Structure formats: structure tokens, C-alpha cells
Structure 1
């Protein structure tokens, strides 16, 4: 009798397992909301590509990608837990963490700062010393507006000597052209578009040329999500790392996936952007230690910069703000 019961229980277990594996019966997926730093463009194409390929789904992830309104906003949302993961400028994320945001960076997208200022030479501006009294146009949540005091002090001008005008990302070039603003800040990604628009009249100053080169965009995750679901975070991070490597090798399929999901983008412009993005992704750490890896010395320097120029309302150790443990060191950024 006991033998028959044992066999019966065994058959029941087999039946349950078979039912779970049967076609049409899907395992529950973990939902992840990824809030971007801005509207989707070429630098976000790897996430769309990986989703189109089914890589996230195969790992049990149901991914929603949401347009953002600036690194400051995405850092706040991830830090508050209203979004699981996000993309944010790393210095802005450190500043948010100093204000109590519960977040951790798990992958560096830009090893170099993408920040730069643009103006028209015909306006009489030759460089930062001519910025005082001028109007800078960018969105309220723009990372460069958040970090402006650090830049101003670095170049030796009063941070309060300029006025800021709220301008959407799409209106930066038209506003500069119409002279509604004198200067705009923008990512290096869009550099070629401005060169075509303004030619030799374009003035440009990348922050990294002024000795300000903190890590740029990074993938950040809510601290509670990280603590409760580390394997989920690992899967998302390594899939995204793999997707970036695939797009570096051949961006065509990645842009195709992006354009299939996002309207209003110009494919040639996005290709130009990706060429610049690869420059921003590349440094000695990403080419030797691993694509997306943070260098401890650089992170310490970025942290000290944030403390020096902004202070921290809630002190923390920089090591708690980032981790490399979810990245695959076998995936590296290609050399030029």
C-alpha cells in the first residue's frame, strides 16, 4: 500500500512538472521598469535590441522602457523605488544618493563625460570667460545644469553669472539658431548634427577638455530591488552588457530595433550618434577589465568632486554607490 502511495505521489509530481513545461504554460516573469535619462536615441538602442531578440524574456524579465526627463529625475525615481532601474549621469546619481536616494550603479555606459557646451562664434563668445551675462538653454533636469556649479568653478567664473532658460532637448538647436539662447549644453552624441547645421560658426567645448571628466551615463538600480533580487539584477546587467558589445560590433540591427519602437528618429543621424557614443564608452578599463566596469580610483575622484562642489546631506562611502560584481569580465570594449 505504501509502495503504491509512493508511486502515486511520484506520478503526480511528474504530471505537475509536465504541465509546467507544456506549451502555452509560461513561467511568471519579473517585471522591470527601466526609466531612461531622456527620450530614446542611439545610446539606448542596445536595450531595444536585446528586448527584440528576446534575451530579457529568456531570462524571465518582462522589460518596460520609459522615456525620461533628465538624469536628475531618473536618479530620484530609481532612488525612491518608483522605477526599478534607470539610466542616469553618474555624478548626478552620486548627488542624488547624497540626498538620500537608495540607488546603486551596476554598469558604466559612458566611461567619459558626454557633456559639452555649444554656441555660435558670431555671437562673440570665444570660450567660458565670455559666458557671464549670457543665457544657457537646457531642460530643468539636465545633468549639465545640475553640475553647472562644478564647471563654473573649474573655469573661474561665478556660477550665478549666467541665466538658465528652460529648453526641451528637441528645441536646443532651433533656440540657438534663433538666438533665443546664447549657449546650450548637450551630449557629444549630437555633435555631428550641430556641425551640419552651423558649420564653421559652431563653438564647442567638451567638459573633459577642461579637466572635468566624471563617468557619464550609467545603469542604476534601486537598492531594495538589488538586495531582494540580486540574480535578476545580474541577468539584466549582463544581458545589457552583451547587447552593448553586439551593437559595437554591428549597430545596424540595434538601430533597426530602436527605430521600430521609437518614431521620429533619423537613421543616419543615429548612426552618427553611435560613432560618438563608442568614443565615450572607450577607456583603458572598458577595453581591458570589462565593458561597463567602473575604475575605483576614478569613482573616488568623482565622489570627491561631488563632495567638494555640492556637499552631501547624507554622507556615504563611495563604494556603496556602485558595483562591478554583476558584469562579465570576458566582455570587453573593442579598441579603436
Structure 2
């Protein structure tokens, strides 16, 4: 018999019941700041929900969420001390570590890669092999790790074309297949009027190239100075995500409020799609939300080895120095 899945609401209740440290007592809140990679959106719903619902305060943290984005890179905020916590992709964390910035992964929130290629069936593309000789839209160098590894693995010769974060190049047939995030650009393409049955999606994780993305990162010095704070942040964030998945409409209200405050235009329909896909991506392989935040060593080594092969890093950090287990069961 397979492992029985625990209801999200019960997990949230159990996490809420975890004993707080002495520092969590009223009047002893620790100030901290967190920055996601991008502006407010459902990709980060759990953190905004945790703040709105008081989960961080219940774990002894007076938290401020800083707006991320190209003008405010999370790595800069970490190194400057402006933020103690940030979300980064696993490959970005490894790249920073290779540059001498001592970031530590305290939780791997995304378990599956959302990066994908999308092609139109009208172009005659039906299988991955049909991309032979085609023009492939890609983003910057770090986003090209999976495409390069995929086409090398399959022995396909393709032409990379730099694409912007708009899907216009793909819609105008400037590329035969475009890069997209499942929770974002793919849905944008659908909203232009193309139906799913008119598209051919290729997920890298289906080809043995799972590069899990969002994780929570701190600097080594932050972790060493206050490990309890780091694990408290992890606990509260998990509670926020579980609550968001169990209370979708309320979570969307919170996300939309933060989008308005940041003056970011967005539709509720798109944010709902994004939240649903984040749920799919964050579900641990065990099938239990109690394991949320686990960094699987095999995934880590897969990403690190390809990054080393492609020259992004010189050496692979020891897993135990790169990742500190702050999942609820391991937290102090």
C-alpha cells in the first residue's frame, strides 16, 4: 500500500503546533527582511500569505518583504545585508557560491523545473526530434544550461536565438520553439488564443534534466549567527504555502493586493494559473507536504555537474556545505 497523503490543513495545524523557541515570546521579535527574485506575484504567494496571516510573527520574526526584480537583484540584497533571506534558483545559488559569495540553501521549495520549450503543431513539430535544425528561443546564459544539455544528449543540431521575456517572437514565428516557464509564459501564450491542443510542450524534467528552481537562501554568516531564525523563517514560509494552497481565493486576494501596491498590472486569472502550477512544482516526490523544502542530493549533483561541465563553476561544493536542512522535522 502506498504512503497515505496527509491533508494540507492537518499539516498546517501540525506545523503551527511546533514548539516555539524562547526568542519567539511576545516583545522579542527579530527583525528580518526577505526578497524574492521578482515583483509580487503568485510565484511567491506563500511568503505574502505568511506575512499577511501573521505566521512570521508567530515564529518570532518581524518580517519585511522587499520587492525584487532586475533593478533589485536578491544576491545584492543578501551581500549588502539589506535582506537576510532570498529566493534564488538552484543554478544561481551554485553560480554565486562559485564566485565566492557564501550563500547557503536552507530549503528547496521547487522540486521540479518549470522551464520548458513550446512549439506549434502547425509548424510540423510533434516530437523533440523534430527540433533538428530549428530555431530555438532562449534567454540568457544561465537559462541555456538545460537546452544545451538536452540537445547535446539527443544529438540534435539547433540554432539558438535570444528571446526577450515577451512571447511575441514565438507568436510571429520568429522561432520554431520558445523558452517558457510553465507557470508564466506558457499561460500567456494560451491567453493569446492558442489552445493547448495546438501546442507541443517539452518539459526538461521529462528528459532527465530536472533543474529545480526556487529555493530559500541565506549567507553563511546569517546561518551561523542565528540558525534558529533561519529555521523559524522556513517553518513560517511552509505554513504560508500550505495555507495558500488550501485557501486559493484568499491567497489570490493577498497576491492581488500586493500587486496593486507595487503598481504591477496583472490579472487574477493568470495569478490563479500561476498558483496552481506552483502547487504542482512544489509537491515533494514523497507526495507529502510534510517534506516540503527538501533538496534532493541527486538533483543538486545533476545541476552542479552540468554547470561545471559548461564552465559556470570550477568546482562542485560539498552538498553538506551548500545545503542546511531547515525542514520542520530537522529544525531546532
Aligned to 1:56: 56
Contact 2:78 2:84 in 1 (8 A): yes
Residue 98 (1) aligns with residue 94 (2): no
CA contact (8 A) 1:87 1:220 kept: yes
CA distance in 1 between counterparts of 2:178 and 2:246 reads 32
Name the residue aligned to 1:184. 178
Which whole-Å CA distance do the structure 1 matches of 2:89 and 2:63 have between them? Answer: 25
Does the C-alpha gap of structure 1 residues 234 and 286 become closer, same or farther in structure 2, counting only changes over 3 Å? farther
Q: 1:205 to 1:175 in 2, by over 3 A?
A: same
- The Cα shift of 1:210 comes to 1.3
Provide the C-alpha distance between the structure 2 equivalents of 1:232 and 1:330, rounded to a whole number of angstroms.
Answer: 14
Aligned residues: 297
Offset at residue 193 of structure 1 (A): 4.3
Superposed, which structure 2 residues align to 1:139-178 within 5 Å?
Answer: 140=140, 143-157=142-156, 161-165=159-163, 167-168=164-165, 171-172=166-167, 174-178=168-172
Q: Is the 8 A contact 2:297 2:319 kept in 1?
A: no
Q: Distance in 1 between matches of 2:194 and 2:320?
A: 43
TM-score, scaled to structure 1: 0.76
Q: In the alignment, which residue of structure 2 is the partner of 1:3? A: none
Work out whether residues 131 and 162 of structure 1, in 8 Å CA contact, stay in contact via their aligned partners in 2: no
Residue by residue over 1:217-244, the C-alpha shift from the partner in whole angstroms, topping out at 9 and shown as x without a partner, is 1111122222222222122111001111
Higher relative contact order (CA 8 A, sep 6+): 2
CA RMSD of superposed structures (Å):
3.2
The 1:289–1:259 alpha-carbon spacing in structure 2 relative to 1, beyond 3 Å, is closer
Runs of at least 5 residues in structure 2 that lack an aligned partner in the other structure: 1-25
User: For residue 194 of structure 1, what is the aligned residue in structure 2?
Assistant: 189
| Bigger radius of gyration among the two | 1
Give secondary structure in 2 for the equivalent of 1:33. Answer: strand
